[in-house]
Structure 1
Amino acid sequence: MGSPLSPIAVNLFMEWFENEAIATAPDNCKPRIWKRYVDDVLEVIKKGEAENLTTHLNQVDPTNSIKFTYEEESDNSIPFPNTLITKKDDGSLKICIYRKPTHTDQYLQFQSHHPLHHKLGVVRTLIDRKDSIVSEEIDRQKETSHIEQALNQCGYPQWSIKKVVEEKDLPKPKKSKPSDGQEKSKGLVVLPYVEGLSERVSRIFEKHGFATSLKPHSTIRKALVHRRTSETPPNSRSSV
Structure 2
Amino acid sequence: MDSPVSPIAANIFMEALEQQPPFLDTLIVKKEDGTVKLLVYRKPTHKDQYLNYQSHHPLHQKLGVIRTLYNRKDTVVTEEEDKVEEEKKVQEALRTCGYPDWTFKKVKDQIQSVKPKKVSKKTDDKTRSKGMVVLPYVKGVTERVSRVMKNYNISTAMKPHNTLRKQLVHPKDKRDPNNTTDAVYKIPCMNCELSYIGETGRKFGTRLEEHKSEAEKVSKTVTTRAGRKESLTTTHKSAITDHVVDKNHVI
Q: In structure 1, how many angstroms separate the alpha carbons of the residues matched to 2:108 and 2:87? A: 11
Q: 2:98 aligns with which of 146, 155, 162?
A: 155
Q: 2:10 aligns with which of 46, 49, 57?
A: 46
After TM superposition, list the pairs within 5 Å mapping 1:1-240 onto structure 2. 27-29=6-8, 45-47=9-11, 49=12, 73=16, 75=18, 77-177=20-120, 179-183=122-126, 184-226=128-170, 232-233=176-177, 237-240=180-183
Q: Percent identity?
A: 47
**Deviation of 1:135 (Å):** 1.1
Runs of 4+ in 1 over 6 A off after TM superposition: 227-231
One-letter identity of the residue aligned with 2:124: G
| 8 Å CA contact retained: 2:29, 2:38 | yes
Aligned-residue CA RMSD in angstroms?
2.8
Q: Structure 1-normalised TM-score?
A: 0.67
Q: Structure 1's 218 and 75: CA in aligned 2 closer, same or farther, altered over 3 A?
A: same
| 8 Å CA contact retained: 2:77, 2:83 | yes
Q: In structure 2, how many angstroms separate the alpha carbons of the residues matched to 1:232 and 1:178? A: 57
Q: Structure 2-normalised TM-score?
A: 0.64
How many residues align structurally? Answer: 181
**Deviation of 1:27 (Å):** 4.4
Which structure has more relative contact order (CA 8 Å, sep 6+)? It is 1
- Of 210-219 and 147-156, more deviation after overlay is shown by 210-219
Q: Structure 1's 194 and 90: CA in aligned 2 closer, same or farther, altered over 3 A?
A: same
| 8 Å CA contact retained: 1:205, 1:212 | yes
